[in-house]
Structure 1
């Protein structure tokens, strides 16, 4: 059943359809100062909340990235320490052997130097985060020890003299480089532990 709007009569006596009346809006709140102040504070609170949330998220991301890098550096330095310590022992064993062997036999006792970690560090993005003094001393150890061993085998150095040079080299590594390297990865381990990250 359709409901038609009631008709109204105009001054000439003719009936005209009634106009629909729309509800009127109460705009009194819009002119009040308190309304606008509350809206401004809401906008400011929203902007501040978004800003603080973004800052906290960025801070957490930076902290996570830093701890991940430190963890990777810990494993890299620890592995390098183990490898260099083994190589120092290998050189010392070589020195003890060559003084008892004839010149033509010394090539048979060439020290087997492990360089897996050292060789692969060139591909690691964390290598240059290792203190430069440690990297320089390790590089010199590998370079000088290889040179001395080669000269001993060729007879350019005698076994006693070559052994003396190698012993001085390994002593320097034991007294300086290895302790520095151990302290370096130990400090990283402590920092990670303080952030509830256990490494071994």
Structure 2
């Protein structure tokens, strides 16, 4: 037998070691890629869930804010209609100078709510004009700058704007928000 048929044992060990080194680095590379990919996918999914949660929370807060504004406006319109009735009564002389104490909890607190800016601006504009125009008209009636009949006509115009434009728009908006939340786990 010749020595050529047999390989040198030291060379076999070196080849095996080289193969082990290469397979070690390849497996480490796969582990690294899998780890990076797993972290990326987990972070991406976590971010999506956080954004979705924030959106749903914002929708819910906006729903309650708009509904509360709607109810407050409806209550204030009732107060205004009561005042209009008293102003038309010829025996009620003090009605001209009566102060109209509107409910303003929601309207005043909207100044401090981050949700207010999620409310459509046209809603806020109409509500703001309503409160401002009613206060101005009431002051003019109390001072005698305008007649009671003209003041009542001004009041009715403001009521009509809110009842025919703002209240239906608020109802439509809150219905839309409610539909958006119906498919989620958020409970109104």
Q: What is the CA–CA distance in structure 1 between the aligned matches of 2:26 and 2:101, rounded to whole Å? A: 79
Given that 1:152 and 1:158 are in contact with CA atoms closer than 8 Å, whether structure 2 keeps it comes out as yes
Structure with the bigger RCO (C-alpha within 8 Å, sep 6+) is: 2
Q: Deviations over 1:48-72 (max 9, x none)?
A: 1111011111111111111111111
Aligned residue runs from structure 1 range 1-200, under 5 A: 27-30=17-20, 32=22, 36-101=25-90, 104-107=93-96, 109-199=98-188
Could you tell me whether the CA contact under 8 Å between 1:94 and 1:110 is conserved in 2? no
Q: CA deviation at 1:105?
A: 1.9
What is the match of residue 5 of structure 2? Answer: none
The Cα shift of 1:181 comes to 1.3
CA distance in 2, matches of 1:108, 1:84: 22
Does structure 2 retain, via aligned residues, the 8 Å contact 1:103–1:155?
no
CA distance in 1, matches of 2:35, 2:163: 60
Q: What is the alpha-carbon distance in structure 2 between the residues aligned to residue 128 and residue 31 of structure 1?
A: 61
Select the structure of larger CA radius of gyration.
1
TM (norm. structure 2) is: 0.84
RMSD: 2.1
Q: Which has the higher helix share?
A: 2
Using the TM superposition, give the Cα deviation of residue 196 of structure 1 relative to its aligned residue in structure 2, in angstroms: 2.4
CA shift, 1:79, in A, is 0.7
List 4+ stretches of structure 1 deviating above 4 A.
Answer: none
- Separation in 1 of the partners of 2:99 and 2:115? 32
Question: TM-score, normalised to structure 1's length?
Answer: 0.79
CA contact (8 A) 2:86 2:92 kept: no
Other structure's SS at 1:27 match: helix
**Structure 1, gaps ≥5 residues long:** 1-23
